[in-house]
Structure 1
Amino acid sequence: MILKADVLENRFVRLEPFAPAIEDEVRVALDCDPAAWDGMVAAAYGPHFDSWWATASAAMSTGSRIPLAVRRRDDGAVVGTTSLYEIRPEHRRCEVGSTFYRPEARGGPVNPACKRLLLEHAFAAGAVRVEIITDALNLSSQAAIRKLGARDEGILARHKITWTGRVRDTAQFAVLDTDWPGVRQKLDDRLARFDAG
């Protein structure tokens, strides 16, 4: 499995690997909704952005993470970020996550369009397993992951420490290569409804 830091795009979003040219756009996109960051391991709004950007960029240089800006195609605005991370070529496994969207980009085509691109990229590269995890307290995120068709693998107790110091339980989900054809069709059907609407 070789995952490359490529630009990924479809009719709804363009995912752009982090680069200095888009740093300021990402900074502006993430500087909102502080409460939404509370369940995350690292915050990226306001004063937290510079260290977060540096950490994500360093991980990209080692190949363990591909951080991506999420650019909405209809207006060209950067509306969030997502990543392929915990990349483990020896196990043909990675995670999709470190995802944040501005409030106005939630609930529409942005998230399913991003997941469609990220999962396709991972499975086309030879992944056999893609994990998606979230804070066990984040019920809306869990609902969105279930809507993708991911397997619900349960709760990892006391799994991570958030940036606020809270010991977090993590809800873990996965899409396997054998699941991907069905998940892909489900995502394509959802995105087609956005086209029709």
Structure 2
Amino acid sequence: MTLAAVPLENPFVRLEPFTPALETEVRAALDCDAASWDIMVGAAYGPHFDGWWRSALNAMEQGTRIAWAVRRASDAAVVGTTSLYEIRPEYRRCEVGSTFYRPEARGGPVNPSCKRLLLGHAFDAGAVRVEIVTDAINPGSQAAIRKLGARDEGVLRKHKITWKGRTRDTAQFAILDEDWPEVRTRLDERLASFA
């Protein structure tokens, strides 16, 4: 499994791998909705952005993460970020996540578009397993992951520490290579409804 840091796009979004040229746009996209950051492992708004940005670029250099800016096709605005991370080529697995969208980009075609592109990129590269995890106290995120067709694999207790210091239980989901054709079809049907 070899994952490339390349642009990915469909009629709704263009995912652009992080480069220094994107820093200002990504910073502006993430500098909002402080309450949503409270349950996350890391924060990337306001004064937290610089360390988060450096960490993302460093992980990209090490090959453990590919971070993308999410550019909405309708107005060319960067409205968030998403990643493939925990990249483990030797196991042919990775995670989709480290995702944040501006409030006005939530609930429409942006998230399913991003998931369709990232999952397709991973499975086309030879992944046999793509994981999606979220905070166990975030039912909205869990519902969105289930809507994708990912399978519930349980809760990892005391799995992570949030940036605010709370010990977090993590709800774990996965999509396997044999699940991908059905998940892909479901995503394509959802996206067709936005066209």
Please, what TM-score do these two structures have when normalized by structure 1?
0.98
User: What residue in structure 2 maps to residue 56 of structure 1?
Assistant: 56
SS in 2 for 1:2: coil
Equivalent position amino acid for 1:98 in 2: S
User: What residue in structure 2 maps to residue 179 of structure 1?
Assistant: 179
1:38 is displaced (CA, Å) by: 1.4
User: What residue in structure 2 maps to residue 20 of structure 1?
Assistant: 20
Aligned residues: 195
Query: In the alignment, is residue 122 of structure 1 matched against residue 122 of structure 2?
Result: yes
CA distance in 2, matches of 1:160, 1:29: 25
1:40 is displaced (CA, Å) by: 1.3
User: What residue in structure 1 maps to residue 188 of structure 2?
Assistant: 188
After superposition, residues 1-197 of structure 1 pair within 5 angstroms as: 1-195=1-195
SS in 1 for 2:193: helix
SS in 2 for 1:194: coil
Quick one: percent identity of the two aligned structures? 76
1:75 is displaced (CA, Å) by: 0.2
Task: Give the root-mean-square deviation of aligned CA atoms.
Answer: 0.4
Q: Report runs of 4+ in structure 1 exceeding 2 Å deviation.
A: none
In structure 1, the gaps of 5 or more residues are none
Equivalent position amino acid for 1:181 in 2: P
In structure 2, the gaps of 5 or more residues are none
1:41 is displaced (CA, Å) by: 1.1
SS in 1 for 2:194: helix
1:39 is displaced (CA, Å) by: 1.6
CA distance in 2, matches of 1:136, 1:99: 16
Equivalent position amino acid for 2:52 in 1: W
